Structure 1
């Protein structure tokens, strides 16, 4: 029987690296704990709409929203669509003016005079102001957006109007700058303004100055840019950064609908870095989805979102249909107050969004972690190729370490760190599984173990394997710990591979230790021979169908990871998830608690009860899924490290409990079956 040796020097290097990784993760946890203030925000326009739907003053709705827990109101740039409704200014198509003139319905003599003079053009738009401040702001912004050659000032008796060369329909939708009247109303009601400015075409520093001049007299919680560009776009963000830093304003970054990184806006990352990461992640439940959610489900989503994805701006929308016997106003106030209470119960503070400190891992600690990861990679190779001498292992370690450490030391190691994280995520779960395969391989007993000793061995094995896997999680989390990963400006891109590669690594090691076909279990043929035997197997239709089913399961298994595959989640699983979210601090992953960890327990039983080698192999592969998933959880760097740790712990604990219950049921079934067989033999 081939003996596989665990190089002690490599293990020492892994432990040294682990100490550095744990130290970095403790620092990371402190940074995350200091970022616990959530801005509970809602659109000012939604508040106005709610007041109109209920037929009550806007001031009363704002007062109740303040009491319910809203801290900021989002104010967007004004448009003629809004102005035409509130009556403070109006855009009139020239064709409409002419139509009224020739139909005899244009009674105003000043307008009639302009038509008679030929001043009114059918293809122009005419802007009339009924509120002096609003008209002044609209006029200023039209000149900035369209230029003086397209905007002319006309006299309409004792009143000034604007003649604009523009398409009427498009002009109605055009952004016209931040409305000071709305921002004043927001501040007067006791809220902060969450400002939503847009960019200008061919934007200049003067345009940017004008935006911030509008904002200067108001309390601003955050700026969240509207549209596909930030203010300044790709090429002129310096002035935006300068003014935001000068006024100590936080940048809001809108999470993408896939929950992966952000809604694309030109210049977004430049501003974030220029502000030294004074940034808050924003999430909003899509308007077309919210009506489908019951209020308690929506409230739970906000809590989970803020906890698990580092969201610090919750931009809410109103419900437009009342719930139960409540009025529409009461429904929405309950929605807000319940959300606030839920967040506070989770330890969050409500107010202008907090942000991460510009944390970047210590370079020396990163290099030490690289030493540990390189050592683990070499250790895995030695466990697959036992003929690799210690000298060759040390040479391989030195080469790997130098190649990875030098770029990090000179400040060019971003890609290296991601590759190291990928290695840790795959190698450590594999080593954890292999180590326990080696343990049971050395301790196979001739007689069958009773249930108690068998259960203890299974629990001990899963604990040991999970500890090794968690070491990989610490390395992954530690090596990637910096503010760009916390904010998801940078992401770990190996998640799909992490679901598959540990299985491959364990399968290779398994065939070096065991004969899958069970002919000579502890002295298997060479890996190449087993591989050839698999490829040359005669396959029945039944086996082919089973293989196709397994492939479909595998595709779903991989496709369900992340947020981009579009594989639907069954309703029953959603209910199970909801239960787990309520029952645990952090919901354990289904593939761990219901699949991987129970399979690990049964794998130990399969070995000591001498089940067929093929079943033992399949259970080993399924058990690897659970170990790999524990580490992969930490690849979502936006999730606080303590939450990921608790998710892995709960999954391993309760997955082992489920596995032990299943083991007990199988043991009982075997005992009853064997008793029945003995009774039959005696009767015969």
Structure 2
């Protein structure tokens, strides 16, 4: 009777939490569907180089790029060193100014040891003067020479070579006249002050057609002391800040959280990566970023090696860009100024209710592991702590609940549906669907606890990704290694562990453990977005094929490992401890299905399709695996090894001895 009450109560709380999570998920999908306008940008330097290579006016090149789908031109702020190398000015000591007779009387105003920039063009001089006089208050600018013009710097050039020089006015105006938008990438500078940051805001306000502001360096100017001043200066511009994927910048998340316009997720290919790409692969990468990761600003790098017998660099790049634009529109996206994520206000009690569902699942899991009293005590304490954290608005509490959801429900799924008895292929398929459904309860609760646009824009993220991949495996191993039936006491578990630790180890088992440890390390290292170095070239080709064939590629851990092995395990049954490795590998698929939804910047509909594709494809591979198992079992007819059943379970064999 007591057990029925416990199960009914936890089930009721979980069902209510799932309903709340589904409501929040539906709201999120509505926001994502309206967040569908993508900006396609090209680098100014590349477009200008292409115009020079083709011998055509820059304005004509801009017109053709616009026709191909380009909406924006991306300007990187040149550094002093780049200006020197590019011949915009020369660097010399004050004592060397006698080499420039045109400077005339100005020579007497400069001390012999000063660092001087001799600038040839008046527009370049004005461009540099506008920002440098605020970033470097000790600098002196002399323009009454009639040219060349002079900038006298208070420190050696080597200390300033990375300082930005502003943006060229004429190209900015040409871009605006062509009907295109502008994104500027600002360099940081040493010794930023509230005054120099405010001057930056004033400077950017005068750039025509400004669409977004990006930053060039690993740390934002003025961070951390003047991040509020930087936010205030940018807020008045009314444009978002570009958050460039795979290029973490210190202070960017802090800045984005302070801006009403927030950030726009941005994607480009690093220049050093370009040799690895051809036109098709590059287009695939840009389209994937927009469709699957909420990227709304694509900064596309151009190709400058025309194909044999081709039509020229400009025509080939126009076709490349047009292809990207066409594919984006086919995916339901439109071209224009990057969409900005609208605000999302929902009742906070829904978030609290979702968290209670996670706690109820934890109580149920501990009960299944044989620790009912401990589960009730911890569940009560967790509910009180969650109430306090929810009232205080602590983001850490929501992340902790998300970790709980990603841990509890895949574990519950595996220990609930993997049984000693085998079953038919058809029943195995039904059991796979039911197990995945229970695991996805954790996905719904994870999405519900981390609801909010700050997660969708990557201003905040799910914490503990590797823990969420590891903890369910540890719990599943604990359960199946010692087969804890309901009601087993902690003392019994302690005795079993001590007995196991006192057993001698054979070399073959030590080797097997080393192999498993290596596999586990690779498994953990491959989690997240920074595991590209561990992906084999063949796997990259398979991924590309699946992207083309299925539109949304399923995860390898699900369709190739987890789901097929779980289906086989349902068919054979968990007969004895020799199947422990099989059950751990099978659990990977359930964990991965839940963690797919931890990519909170990926549209929910994409995640749902990804999991569905992984499930049906994994089921097909699993049926083939079952057929191969039956064939091998029939042909080999191996001698049965002595059973190694842990205490508490009775092995139930199929008819025919299988």
TM-score w.r.t. the length of structure 1 is 0.84
In structure 1, which of residues 397, 402, 413 is the aligned counterpart of residue 384 of structure 2? 402
Shift of 1:64: 1.3
Q: Deviations over 1:582-605 (max 9, x none)?
A: 222321111111111111111122
Shift of 1:299: 0.5
Matched, 1:649 2:639: no
Change (3 A) 1:640 1:600: same
Matched with 1:13 is 13
Indicate conservation of the 8 Å contact 2:192/2:221, yes or no.
no
Segment of structure 1 superposing worse, 162-171 or 243-252? 162-171
Task: Name the SS of the counterpart of 1:195 in structure 2.
Answer: strand
Structure with greater Cα Rg: 1
Indicate conservation of the 8 Å contact 1:592/1:625, yes or no.
yes
Matched with 1:318 is 302
Indicate conservation of the 8 Å contact 1:41/1:315, yes or no.
yes
Within 5 A, what are the aligned runs for 1:235-634? Answer: 235-257=225-247, 262-264=248-250, 266=251, 268-326=252-310, 327-359=312-344, 362-385=347-370, 388=372, 396-411=378-393, 413-437=394-418, 440-441=419-420, 444=421, 454-511=424-481, 513=483, 527-564=493-530, 567-607=533-573, 612-634=575-597
Task: Name the SS of the counterpart of 1:289 in structure 2.
Answer: helix
Indicate conservation of the 8 Å contact 2:239/2:261, yes or no.
no
Task: Name the SS of the counterpart of 2:271 in structure 1.
Answer: coil
In structure 2, which of residues 156, 168, 171 is the aligned counterpart of residue 182 of structure 1? 171
Matched with 2:45 is 45
Within 5 A, what are the aligned runs for 1:95-106? Answer: 97=96, 101=99
Indicate conservation of the 8 Å contact 2:114/2:152, yes or no.
no
Matched with 1:30 is 30
Indicate conservation of the 8 Å contact 1:142/1:151, yes or no.
no
Indicate conservation of the 8 Å contact 1:374/1:400, yes or no.
yes
Change (3 A) 1:613 1:190: same
Segment of structure 1 superposing worse, 422-431 or 642-651? 642-651
Matched with 1:682 is none
Change (3 A) 1:190 1:536: same
Task: Name the SS of the counterpart of 2:307 in structure 1.
Answer: coil
Indicate conservation of the 8 Å contact 2:183/2:211, yes or no.
yes
Matched, 1:90 2:89: yes
Change (3 A) 1:322 1:167: farther
Indicate conservation of the 8 Å contact 1:378/1:397, yes or no.
yes
Indicate conservation of the 8 Å contact 2:121/2:149, yes or no.
no
Q: CA separation in 1, counterparts of 2:383 and 2:95?
A: 76
Q: CA separation in 1, counterparts of 2:531 and 2:636?
A: 45
Matched, 1:226 2:213: no
Indicate conservation of the 8 Å contact 1:94/1:124, yes or no.
yes
Change (3 A) 1:197 1:12: same
Indicate conservation of the 8 Å contact 2:95/2:112, yes or no.
no
Matched, 1:659 2:622: yes
Q: CA separation in 1, counterparts of 2:242 and 2:72?
A: 13
Change (3 A) 1:210 1:487: closer
Q: CA separation in 2, counterparts of 1:631 and 1:231?
A: 39
Task: Name the SS of the counterpart of 1:7 in structure 2.
Answer: helix
Shift of 1:539: 2.8
Indicate conservation of the 8 Å contact 1:429/1:469, yes or no.
yes
Indicate conservation of the 8 Å contact 1:477/1:641, yes or no.
no
Shift of 1:168: 4.6
Indicate conservation of the 8 Å contact 1:429/1:502, yes or no.
yes
Change (3 A) 1:329 1:359: same
Shift of 1:173: 5.0
Change (3 A) 1:6 1:554: farther
Within 5 A, what are the aligned runs for 1:664-683? Answer: 664-671=627-634
Q: CA separation in 2, counterparts of 1:71 and 1:52?
A: 21
Change (3 A) 1:578 1:84: same
Shift of 1:243: 4.8
Indicate conservation of the 8 Å contact 1:178/1:211, yes or no.
no
Shift of 1:427: 0.8
Segment of structure 1 superposing worse, 364-373 or 575-584? 575-584
Change (3 A) 1:539 1:263: same
Segment of structure 1 superposing worse, 53-62 or 490-499? 53-62
Q: CA separation in 2, counterparts of 1:505 and 1:119?
A: 74
Q: CA separation in 2, counterparts of 1:5 and 1:627?
A: 28
Shift of 1:83: 5.7
Change (3 A) 1:53 1:477: same
TM-score w.r.t. the length of structure 2 is 0.87
Task: Name the SS of the counterpart of 1:311 in structure 2.
Answer: coil
Q: CA separation in 1, counterparts of 2:325 and 2:359?
A: 46
Indicate conservation of the 8 Å contact 1:281/1:310, yes or no.
yes
Task: Name the SS of the counterpart of 2:299 in structure 1.
Answer: strand
